[in-house]
A and B are shown apart, each in its own frame.
Chain A
Amino acid sequence: DIQMTQSPSSLSASVGDRVTITCRASQSISSYLNWYQQKPGKAPKLLIYAASSLQSGVPSRFSGSGSGTDFTLTISSLQPEDFATYYCQQSYSTHSFGQGTKLEIK
């Protein structure tokens, strides 16, 4: 099984900050990596697919990069609606998710 490890597990930041979340796979997954945002009581929402492609309708302040085992999600300028939990997900084999990164207001 491919294990996905996100860091940090939680993060405090302010509106306007630039934030980066990291996801590491236990083996190479090429670019088969997606990112989701989940708000309390809601289903996850797809943000980034194939490591760096922005899902339609997602603001351009979100971006993704990486390949192989190391990936990042960057939010260039935090907005109030961005405070949520973020998950990475690999689709290389038997889909699995990272444990999540909770982004909180400082």
Chain B
Amino acid sequence: QVQLQESGPGLVKPSETLSLTCTVSGGSISSYYWSWIRQPAGKGLEWIGRIYTSGSTNYNPSLKSRVTMSVDTSKNQFSLKLSSVTAADTAVYYCASHRYGTFDPWGQGTLVTVSS
């Protein structure tokens, strides 16, 4: 059973870059899509984007100018960078396996707060 775990700073200053990593265990990261999704407190879910293990990416148009995703197959990890963050980027960030249009399984999520 594949498991995912997000890691990274829980506090980021406004205008700086948010950086998170997702570590995949219990299976290989190769030959699949992997996504990032976020959820502000008390609100709904927003898909951020996805990466294939070849490095090919698709981003949500609303965030595309600020998002960069990468993958390190040797470490079974993939990463998210979101630049020029504001308070509106404060959310729980989830990584998830992305197959046949579904997100399953998900990591437990990590709260990132944007504040000075």
A87 to B61, Cβ gap below 8 A?
A: no
Interface residue SS majority, chain A = loop
Question: With A1-B61, A94-B60 given, is the CB distance from A55 to B47 under 8 Å?
Answer: no
A97 to B102, Cβ gap below 8 A?
A: no
Q: Which of B10-18, B81-89, B106-114 makes up part of the contact surface? A: B106-114
Q: Could you say which residues of chain A place their CB within 8 Å of the CB of B106? A: 43-45
| Binary interface encoding of chain B residues 3-41 relative to chain A, with 1 for a CB under 8 A from any of its CBs, else 0 | 000000000000000000000000000000001000000
Interface residues on B, range: 20 to 34
The complex places the Cα of A43 from the Cα of B106 at a distance, in Å, of 6
Question: Any chain B CB within 8 A of the CB of A91?
Answer: yes
Question: Any chain B CB within 8 A of the CB of A98?
Answer: yes
The complex places the Cα of A45 from the Cα of B108 at a distance, in Å, of 11
| Nearest A residue to B109, CB-CB | A43
Question: Any chain B CB within 8 A of the CB of A78?
Answer: no
A95 to B44, Cβ gap below 8 A?
A: no
The complex places the Cα of A42 from the Cα of B109 at a distance, in Å, of 8
A44 to B44, Cβ gap below 8 A?
A: no
Residues of B44-81 whose CB lies within 8 A of A? 44-47, 58, 60-61
Q: Could you say which residues of chain A place their CB within 8 Å of the CB of B61? A: 1, 94
User: Hey, which bits of chain A sit against chain B, CB under 8 A?
Assistant: 1, 32, 34, 36, 42-46, 49-50, 55, 87, 89, 91, 94-100
